[in-house]
Amino acid sequence: MKLHILGICGTFMGGIAALARELGHDVEGSDANVYPPMSTQLERLGIVLKRGYAAENLVPPPELVVVGNAMTRGNAAVEHMLDERLRYVSGPQWLGETVLATRRVLAVAGTHGKTTTTSLLAWILESAGRDPGFLVGGVPANFGVSARLGGVSLTPPSASADGPPLSRFAGEGRMSPPAAADFVIEADEYDTAFFDKRSKFVHYRPTIAILNNLEYDHADIFPDVAAIQRQFHHLVRTVPRNGRLIVNAEDARLAEVLAQGCWTPVETFGVDAGDWRARLTAPDGSSFVVSHAGSELGLAEWTLGGRHNVMNALAAIAAAHAAGVAPADAIAALATFRNVARRMELVAEHAGIRVYDDFAHHPTAIATTLAGLRAKVGTARILVGMEPRSNSMRMGAHADELAPSLADADAVVFLKRPELPWDAARIVDALGGRGRTAASVDALVDALLAQVHTGDHVVFMSNGGFENAPRRFAAALAAKG
């Protein structure tokens, strides 16, 4: 089938493209913003990319248009698609009906940590010999692709089957190995498409679901945190009785979601509370002891750091255990885990200066990431270049929390593009001499170069391309000598 994907360079839609290509479809797509790592992956797969959203991109007409949630009415390609009565579907619906319906789905939901936790869970299952399929909102270094189909799937639901794919082991909290291949999916609460305003994750019908955390975000579509909780409860309603919910025991908002109704066995996790716990044996979280129901199960040692990543690991270990993977095997897999691109990715080191690229979109994520780095580097200076790019950031929904989230930074250069609709001066003022603004990426790079010294750690934080700022800074640093 000939598919055209609108918004193909988004991390989710790029994954859809990879899966469709693996299924044997003829895939092409359009996007206005083409940048790595997704553009690189698509080009490697031989998928034709068309820049922009001209109506001509859909001529001759494809057999199916898969529509990304960044598409809106008024977009030239969307208007042409509707005028010509082309067959179309949202990305999440296509995924749910075409791929997930014949697999056992393990979904990872939450405001923070979805990509890392999804990658962790996929790697644990891979290390256990499960050959999982997955779709991740990034490119996990262990796999080199953001999505793949994985192993053999179930007989389609319309055919006869011998009962549910999961059954409990007697006396244990695990489930038997599935007849279906496992598929691990990053379950986003953002809306599905311009014609379907439900959260993406309601299309996935998971058997095992992680609820990692819940905070206010996506101010462009959710009026308040209660609206997000309502969508999370819609997800909870889709998890079967013979499935499992893996829930952050330290998150009061998730407890409120479950209080609305829960029909599935729940296991909890947390550093300080829950069925699954961690005792840090290194202050930066690079090693920790995992325990379950009060019994210590093993020591985890890995290259990641930060309390938030320890929480992500606990969630992945608990979900893998629910899928039948022994905790000792899951813990051992952490040692060989390599994180996703742009999650505190070290992109360069020159003259004792380390440069990182981090996908930051929310004050809590900024604070926990910097706290993890501070625990690792001690008193070394941390410099931050920040772009407020997410819809919530651009709208100013998180403005009051931004300065406190940067407490561990010694200096901050804040990208204040002319079109930013709110005044960033109050954030700079609140940083007490540690902050300044820059009107362009060039100016931001120059400002960081002017104050960086040997031994510093420079972190670029944005959930967009940031005009390749980390690598431009690294190149300028190298040229400076």
Binding residues: 110-116
User: Residue 251 and residue 315: Cα distance in Å, rounded?
Assistant: 13
What Cα–Cα distance (Å) separates residue 389 from each residue in 46, 149, 251, 420?
Answer: 30, 32, 26, 9
Order of strands, sheet of 457-461, starting from the edge strand that comes earlier in the sequence: 345-350, 353-358, 457-461, 382-386, 411-415, 435-438
Other Cβ atoms less than 10 A from the Cβ of 122: the count is 31
Residues in a beta bridge with 437: 414
User: Which residue numbers belong to the known binding site for ATP?
Assistant: 110-116
Task: Tell me the C-alpha distance between 409 and 371, whole Å.
Answer: 9
How many Cα neighbours within 13 Å face the side chain of 472? 15
- Report DSSP state, residue 234: H
Residues 71 and 171: beta-carbon distance below 8 Å: no
- Residues 6+ away with beta carbon under 8 Å from 73: 79, 194
Other CB atoms within 10 Å distance of the CB of residue 294:
7
Can the peptide bond before residue 60 be classed as cis, meaning omega within 30 degrees of 0? yes
Rounded to 5 degrees, what are φ and ψ at 456?
A: -80, 160
Bridge partners of residue 431, in order along the sequence: none
Q: Does 164 sit behind a cis peptide bond, omega within 30 degrees of 0 on the bond before it?
A: no
Cβ atoms within 10 Å, residue 412: 24
Secondary structure (H, E, C), 65-133: EEECCCCCCCCHHHHHHHHCCCCEEEHHHHHHHHCHHHCEEEEEECCCCHHHHHHHHHHHHHHCCCCCE
